[in-house]
Copies of this chain bind each other. A is one copy, B any other.
């Protein structure tokens, strides 16, 4: 059988370390199921800026487009923080999302039972939480035109952005969310701010219309401010959440705290047609880069999502997830999660251990 073509973008900071570990684990898990991978490395973010002056070189986008799937580790760092916004590492990420039309960002917020204690929230609140946030990723205020700087009637300098959604944009993300809900608890909560914003009114209207095609899914609506609250008050209320780009950015990071650590959380950004992007939710952590201290689990879990959603090799995904689960059971913890009574391991050690476990 043919090798799965995977574009590999290690990026910055701890990116290369966790990617290294994850590729080993992925290769080992594939071998067990008779699946092979062809990894093509490419530059993105700060690493790409340093080498080419561009956070998303054309070559990188071409490699990604020619692959079955894209694995991305992390981008950014202090080093590039003083560059003008338009030239910063983040632009590479936004360009990649847009370039691949990866419109559906799936962010599971799951609290692994072994880690229910690490959350800043009380154990009884977070235990058993299993939320899937479906965030629209290539529209809304992130990409809306017009945007920029100008002058108002009074002659004052202004900065402005446009938050905009079209009917088809809302419809396609809503369908992804309804379909995900059908495979889960069949509850979907649409989050917006329709009591104030027209863009949210259109959002809500389209979601309600699309809901007719999914009569088995129970739909609810919540304002973003209330959602930010309910996520803490009663996170078990949520099954699937669907929301726009900026609200999804905020809500999914907030939700990640239910799990206590970003070190565990993967994400998938899928386009439905071409390759998707699979990346951990956490950042590049420049403060611990190069010290073999990072937690590779979110990267491994991202590879699992890739196997499930893009490459359609769910058995490999199962192996990856089971290995992570077992490592947690065995008490193996990188520095971010270490506690009295658990075993501190380095990033590379944990990678090797996961290779044994898959």
Please list the residues of chain A having a beta carbon within 8 angstroms of any beta carbon in chain B: 85, 88, 90, 94, 120-122, 125, 141-142, 144, 147-149, 152, 154, 156-169, 193-203, 224-226, 228-229, 231-233, 246-247, 249-254, 256-257, 262
Contact indicator B152/A160 (Cβ below 8 Å): no
Contact indicator B166/A202 (Cβ below 8 Å): no
Q: List 8 A-B contacts (CB under 8 A).
A: A148-B198, A152-B164, A159-B202, A162-B163, A224-B249, A225-B252, A225-B253, A228-B228
Contact indicator B120/A232 (Cβ below 8 Å): yes
Contact indicator B141/A163 (Cβ below 8 Å): yes
CA of A202 to CA of B156, assembled, Å: 12
Contact indicator B166/A158 (Cβ below 8 Å): yes
**Cross-interface CB contact of A195 among B90, B193, B247, B253, cutoff 8 Å:** B90
**Cross-interface CB contact of A228 among B141, B166, B201, B254, cutoff 8 Å:** B254
Contact indicator B198/A159 (Cβ below 8 Å): yes
Name the B residues within 8 Å of A147 (CB-CB). Answer: 197-198
CA of A199 to CA of B148, assembled, Å: 7
Contact indicator B162/A160 (Cβ below 8 Å): yes
Which residue in chain B gives the minimum CB-CB distance to A200?
A: B159
Given contacts A152-B166, A249-B224, A253-B226, whether A161 and B122 have CB atoms under 8 Å apart is no
- Report the copy number of this chain in the oligomer: 2
Contact indicator A159/B203 (Cβ below 8 Å): yes
CA of A101 to CA of B63, assembled, Å: 53
Output the least CB separation between A164 and chain B (Å).
Answer: 4
Name the B residues within 8 Å of A251 (CB-CB). Answer: 228
Name the B residues within 8 Å of A154 (CB-CB). Answer: 166, 168
Name the B residues within 8 Å of A194 (CB-CB). Answer: 85
Given contacts A142-B196, A232-B232, whether A201 and B85 have CB atoms under 8 Å apart is yes
CA of A120 to CA of B156, assembled, Å: 44
Which residue in chain B gives the minimum CB-CB distance to A258?
A: B232
Given contacts A94-B196, A254-B228, whether A167 and B156 have CB atoms under 8 Å apart is yes
CA of A168 to CA of B113, assembled, Å: 50
Contact indicator B232/A149 (Cβ below 8 Å): no
Contact indicator A225/B249 (Cβ below 8 Å): yes
Contact indicator A253/B233 (Cβ below 8 Å): no
Name the B residues within 8 Å of A121 (CB-CB). Answer: 120-122, 232
Name the B residues within 8 Å of A167 (CB-CB). Answer: 156-158
Name the B residues within 8 Å of A226 (CB-CB). Answer: 253
Which residue in chain B gives the minimum CB-CB distance to A234?
A: B120
CA of A251 to CA of B247, assembled, Å: 12
Contact indicator B254/A232 (Cβ below 8 Å): yes
Name the B residues within 8 Å of A231 (CB-CB). Answer: 254
Contact indicator A161/B159 (Cβ below 8 Å): no
Which residue in chain B gives the minimum CB-CB distance to A158?
A: B166
**Cross-interface CB contact of A163 among B149, B157, B163, B228, cutoff 8 Å:** B163
Contact indicator A165/B161 (Cβ below 8 Å): no
Given contacts A141-B163, A201-B159, whether A85 and B232 have CB atoms under 8 Å apart is no
Output the least CB separation between A203 and chain B (Å).
Answer: 7
CA of A254 to CA of B258, assembled, Å: 13
Which residue in chain B gives the minimum CB-CB distance to A126?
A: B120
